[in-house]
Amino acid sequence: MYQRLARAWAFCVLVLACCAVAQARDLPQIVIVATGGTIAGAGASAVNSASYQAAKVPVDKLLASVPEISTIARVRGEQAFQIASESFTNEHLLTLARKVAELAARGDVDGIVVTHGTDTLEETAFFLNLTVHTAKPIVVVGSMRPGTALSADGALNLYDAVAVAGEPTARAKGVLVVMDDCIWSGRDVAKTINIRTDAFQSPWGPLGMIVEGKSYWFRAPVKRHTTESEFDIARIVTLPRVDIGYGSGNANGDAFKAFAAAGAKAVVNAGTGNGSVSADVVPVLQQLTSQGVTVVRSSRVVGGGFVIRNAEQPDDKYGWVAAHDLNPQKARILTMLGLTVTSDPVQLQRMFWEY
Ligand code: GLU
């Protein structure tokens, strides 16, 4: 009798174990590529939501701090860098994009999450969006408060990012950014304030929401990205130097002259309003164009600059490029990639319409 009971018990345990294994096998396989930032930050006390050290917590510890993730995905972490994102260089962009592309090409990877400081997150997301040829979800995520702070936002953001990365419906939508319950296109999302958890916004709104691990989509990007992009990280060896000059009252062209003298192949004018250029700066930029330096007009207007070609400045006549709705830092990314293909302003302008 006792033996029969023991056998039945062992059988039940075996069935349960098999179910658990089968269930785990069904979970998507996600790789977390960690680069640092506040999501890996630590402060001296729980009230330090703004003064703390970014890039302190290693990826495995970060993952262990959100055990709920193991119920929605099979995850593993890779520590790419451990830096604050304001220190991202072009080399970091290239290294990260190569790593993400390599992971995306693997059969045992369904999606990728990149943890990142929020300062330049929008630049990296756009760069990956333009250079990694995959339909698999790539989600870039950060946090506005370190994990040690009261009401820290990193744990939920990371959980949400993994959930989106494991979602078949997130495929082929370009590189995504998940922050504060929203799913954004990496193309046009930007950090708009540095002290609130709803810091990331796009003039064109989020693509969807992520609530309790479930994605709700409302729109999809129409611009070229990932598999449809003419840029491919597999073919890019280096990136040309592109610098940004800021427009304001009393502006002069000294910074632009210095950038060109230091070897810039293009300069982005973070102009006022419609990418306007002050009367003192116009001749400097004309001179740079005649020297072969590409000039891109973007707008410094926060949260919705919209530069129209041949408005404010005769772009056709001067051979300049209008950045359209891309903010100056995103315009820098596209200009660098464009220059790996051509320096023809007509072709570069086409890229600014298409991407
Ligand atoms: N400045 C740091 C960085 O970008 C922290 C900002 C953040 O992650 O919110 O990595």
pLDDT at residue 1, as a whole number: 53
Q: How far away, in angstroms, is 348 Cα from ligand 1 center?
A: 31
Mutation choice for ligand 1 from 48, 86, 141, 177, CB with most ligand atoms inside 8 A: 86
The sign one gets for the Cα dihedral 145, 146, 152, 155 is: positive
What pLDDT score does 12 carry? Answer: 45
Please report the sign of the dihedral spanned by the C-alpha atoms of residue 270, residue 271, residue 277, residue 281. negative
Q: Collect all residues with Cβ–Cβ distance below 8 Å to 58 and sequence separation of at least 6.
A: 34, 40, 79, 82
Q: Which CATH architecture has domain 241-354?
A: 3-Layer(aba) Sandwich (3.40)
Q: How far apart are CA 8 and CA 133, in angstroms?
A: 52
Ligand 1 atom nearest the C-alpha of 142 is 8
How far is 206 from 154, CA to CA, in rounded Å? Answer: 19
The CA distance from 63 to 70, in Å, is 9
283-320 pLDDT, tens digit per residue, is 999 999 999 999 999 999 998 899 999 999 999 999 99
89 as an active site residue: the answer is: no
Atom in ligand 1 nearest the alpha carbon of residue 84: 10
Q: Which residues contact 89 (CB under 8 A, 6 or more apart)?
A: none
Q: And the tokens for 167? A: 């979602």
Q: Which residues of the chain have pLDDT under 70?
A: 1-25
Say which of 35, 38, 118, 335 is annotated catalytic.
38
Q: What b/e readout covers 78-95, taking b as 16+ CB neighbours within 10 angstroms?
A: ebbbbbbbeebebebbbe
Q: Which atom of ligand 1 is nearest to the CA of 38?
A: 8
Distance of CA 269 to the CA centre of its chain: 22
Q: What is the CATH number of domain 22-228?
A: 3.40.50.1170
Distance, CA of 269 to CA of 76 (rounded, Å): 41
Distance 142 CA to ligand 1 centre (A): 8
Terminal Cα-to-Cα distance of the chain (whole angstroms): 73
- 3-state per-residue secondary structure call for the chain: CHHHHHHHHHHHHHHHHHHHHHHHHHCCEEEEEEEECHHHCECCCCCCCCCCECCCCCHHHHHHCCHHHHHCCEEEEEEEEEECHHHCCHHHHHHHHHHHHHHHCCCCCCEEEEECCCCCHHHHHHHHHHHCCCCCCEEEECCCCCCCCCCCCHHHHHHHHHHHHCCHHHCCCCCEEEECCEEEECCCCEECCCCCCCCEECCCCCCEEEECCEEEECCCCCCCCHHHCCCCHHHCCCCCCEEEEECCCCCCCHHHHHHHHCCCCEEEEEEECCCECCCCCHHHHHHHHHCCCEEEEEECCCCCCCCCCCCCCCHHHHCCEECCCCCHHHHHHHHHHHHCCCCCHHHHHHHHHHC
Count of CA atoms in the C-beta half-sphere (13 A) of 120: 19
Q: What percentage of the chain exceeds 90 in pLDDT? A: 91
Q: For residue 19, what pLDDT is reported? A: 45
Q: Are 78 and 34 in contact (CB under 8 A)?
A: yes
Cα 85 to middle of ligand 1, angstroms: 6
101 CA to centre of own chain: 14
Q: Which strands, in side-by-side order, build the sheet including 242-246? A: 242-246, 266-271, 294-299, 321-322
Q: Is the CB of 117 under 6 A from ligand 1?
A: yes
Same fold, 22-228 and 241-354: yes
For 192-241, the pLDDT digits (tens) are 999 999 999 999 999 999 999 999 999 999 999 999 999 999 999 999 99
pLDDT recorded at residue 303: 87
Q: Is the pTM of this model over 0.85?
A: yes
Q: CB-hemisphere CA count at 13 Å for 167?
A: 26
Task: Give the number of other CB atoms < 10 A from CB of residue 262.
Answer: 9
What distance in angstroms lies between residue 191's CA and the mean position of ligand 1's atoms?
11
Boundaries of every domain in the chain: 22-228, 241-354
Strands 242-246 and 266-271: parallel
